Amino acid sequence: MPSSLHRRRLLLLVVAAAALRGAPLADAGADTCKAWLVQSIPTDMPHLSRIPGVLSTGDVLQWLSGNATKSLDILAQYWQFLPQPNNPKSGDYGFSESDMRRFGADEGRRVYKALENAADRKIKIRIVQHSGFAPDFDQESADLAAGRPNVENATVLFEDWWGSGVVHAKVWISDKKDVYIGSANNDWKSLTQVKELGIYFAGCPQIAKTVEVYFQNLWTLSTLNSTFYTKQAWDTQWQVSRKVPCWSHFLQPKERCRFASPSAGHPYHFQLTSHM
């Protein structure tokens, strides 16, 4: 059985390969499109050395925020860039401020500050997220949007569409040309306390456009009323009834709702044309 880390690496390679397949380097600009591996190394582990040439997750997220001039799109499962040692619902609870510094929590503060600075520069920021695992684990994104019309939040609850599941992708897209795809959550612990792996594309507009399709699909999904766009389908393999979107292939073709079917590179894949 492959380890969790190996599965993550395989997933990243598959996603990166899919992006590259949809956006040949000749089209992306072979002279400008570059890619780096990105990693997080836990603190207090001197024998787990950083690999030369591999970038730091915290650095990359700060670059994406700091260098954005027009737009920043973020897919996140939950938010805790800011340490919460006084919150009983947080895994940080009970640790001191000196512990937080030793654990590297300041890296999360720096990333969140870079996001705040981008928001204050009037960068258009769109966030698609799960609702979080505790009542305040989406508070940071809400605070970013508060009083800033250039920052938009959208929450997608997969359980409303499929009966279960969460937004689990971690993607940042800056200015439609620079992209991070990886395993790191928007959590300071993913920067300095958990081994994470990702890939950073810089100056790759065609790759960004391909990844943007996935973001836009979820963004559009967040605007739809699942009551109108879900049906019950019979899963013949597992012999159970499932809630699915009305365009699902679990449904017979005649039972599916109609929707416009643009090309793979089109960012509005879920532009539905009717309810039934």
- The tokens of 230 are what? 């879900």
pLDDT reported for residue 131? 78
Hey, what domains does the chain have and what are their CATH numbers?
Answer: 4-223 (3.30.870.10), 225-276 (no CATH)
pLDDT reported for residue 261? 38
Determine the angle formed by the axes of helices 106-120 and 57-67, rounding to 10 degrees: 10
Q: Could you give the 3-state DSSP secondary structure of residue 108?
A: helix
Give the residues across from 200 on adjacent strands: 36, 180
pLDDT reported for residue 16? 53
In whole angstroms, what is the distance from residue 84 CA to residue 94 CA?
A: 9
Q: Where are the strands (E) in the chain, listed by range?
A: 34-40, 55-56, 71-76, 79-80, 124-129, 151-155, 170-174, 178-182, 186-187, 196-202, 230-235, 240-245
CA atoms within 13 A on the CB side of 256: 12
pLDDT reported for residue 48? 84
Residue pair 219/129 in contact by the 8 Å Cβ criterion: no
pLDDT in tens, the chain (276 residues): 445 544 555 455 444 544 444 444 445 455 689 999 999 999 988 888 888 899 999 999 999 999 999 999 999 999 999 999 998 888 899 999 999 999 999 999 999 999 999 999 999 999 999 876 666 788 999 999 999 999 999 999 899 999 988 889 999 999 999 999 999 999 999 999 999 999 999 999 999 999 999 999 999 999 999 999 999 999 888 899 999 999 998 999 999 986 533 444 444 444 444 443
pLDDT reported for residue 21? 47
Q: Look up the pTM and report it.
A: 0.82
